[in-house]
A and B are shown apart, each in its own frame.
Chain A
């Protein structure tokens, strides 16, 4: 084969590569090992690692059951291989799916209009701030310190180049909710938005009704974020919010290694022209048949170029479709039952532990490790094939003796009993 392409040695094929990136020796394989044997070797190796572990990690990424229907639908070539609908009327199936997605997101959040869609919850967060700044023509944004720390980091990155000032609102050390007195003190006539997350990073439900009243009193908008979409199956929809954004990873997206996820943003009809991305709508064609179109995309990059409201054009539709199928499989009642299961498991888990905050929680809460340390507790759990909660020291130094634990429907009682024991050691 080398002779056919006019070369003398295989090394000549790699001659253009820097020397220090070359391995410089053959791969460590027994001679004549087949591809099948190699795959089998790694399968065996993998079976000794991850499977069979129960995980109590949440903190923005949740392990929920994935109905098989989700993969079946998104694996269809019509959806899987299609690019973003730049010639939208040709892509009726994609538009119909987007339309269903938007409708379900509105039903879930109590908002009037939802786009399709955002990359993830973290990048949806600055879009809330930018939208609010455009609407109010103000430049200051207040965000609760109880919002996911990485969402806040992404917000800070965006705001640095958008002329928006960010201030953080303290959390109440007793309840774990946003400190409303601190909010009241920091709200002023320059504030574009107050952004909170509920359930917040500590798993605690925020008092968003009161936060909304305070924000609206100063002419600011309320942005409501969520990381755990299953919570919306049981909590009141955030109807007092002006913009709702969050993460639908819980709806059929495996934790993977952190993506791809499914962000959403939804708002009131009066603010729809400031929503980033595009909206699919239902209409009738020239023969009077039901058809779908892009109703609002005049502010997107293929029309507005550098003046676009945002640049979200990759095929997030496929990721959104996965969540749409999930929502269809569960339905309104199913989602409520799923939420109750999560709630019950988390209650059982919390009952054997010392909670750090008194505020109401959904499927996550902060627990104190007492005389032991978070690291020691997690080490002992790992020996029993259990991945413990997230030690909070990294994000909140003042909570160095605490872990954030999450119990979804995938957790079994015996795992929770093990956690109770580990905390008592």
Chain B
């Protein structure tokens, strides 16, 4: 369920690293807790984000929740397909429903993110 090569946050985001580029999404657990997702608000390419600071929000039928960046850097790509069909976040949160790609400015930051087993222990699974 939670890929081993991803890293996770206590705010329920994941990041998958390929060189200096990190793909960011929200976890299966997060989408399950939120319920039916109806809207995703994301920044535009070029925006600078900081680890632990919100960069967007997801809205479910229950509430609007902030998305916190797991890493610092610059947004290089935004998942436009997801903005058109936000319900994909409920279907494939760890795959096709990624949110943004970030060019990391401080790669060492990723060392203190949670591993898959840490995260599963944290959410009690």
The chain A residues found within 8 Å of chain B, CB to CB, are 137, 273, 298-299, 303-304, 307
Given A299-B64, A303-B64, A304-B64, answer yes or no on A137-B43 (Cβ-Cβ < 8 Å): yes
Contacts of B66 in A (CB 8 A): 307
Give Cα distance in the complex from A273 to B39, angstroms: 8
Q: How large is the interface on B (under 10, 10 to 19, 20 to 34, 35 or more residues)?
A: 10 to 19
- Distance in angstroms between the alpha carbons of A368 and B66 in the assembled complex: 56
Main secondary structure on chain A at its contact with chain B? helix
Cα separation A303 to B66 with both chains bound (whole Å): 12
Task: Say if the beta carbon of B121 comes within 8 Å of chain A.
Answer: no
CB of B32 within 8 A of chain A?
no
> Least Cβ distance of A350 to chain B in Å?
48
Q: A298 contacts B63, CB within 8 Å?
A: yes
Task: State whether the Cβ of B53 lies closer than 8 Å to any Cβ in chain A.
Answer: no
A298–B39 Cα distance when bound, in Å, is 11
Give the shortest distance, in Å, between B78 (CB) and chain A (any CB). 11
Query: Quick one: which of A137, A298, A307 contacts B44, CB cutoff 8 A?
Result: A137
Assembled-state Cα–Cα distance A303/B59 (Å): 12
Residue numbers in B under 8 Å from A304 (CB-CB): 63-64
Q: Provide the bound-state CA to CA distance between A307 and B47, in Å.
A: 20
Q: What is the CA–CA distance of A358 and B64 in the complex, to the nearest angstrom?
A: 50
Contacts of B43 in A (CB 8 A): 137
Cα(A307)–Cα(B62), bound, Å: 16
Q: Which of B53-69 contact A (CB under 8 A)?
A: 59, 62-64, 66
- A137, A273, A303: the one within 8 Å of B63 (CB): A303
A132, chain B: closest CB distance, angstroms: 15
- What would 6 more interface pairs be, CB under 8 Å, given A298-B59, A303-B63, A307-B64? A137-B44, A137-B47, A273-B59, A298-B63, A299-B59, A307-B66
The CA-CA distance from A298 to B63 in the complex, in Å, is: 5
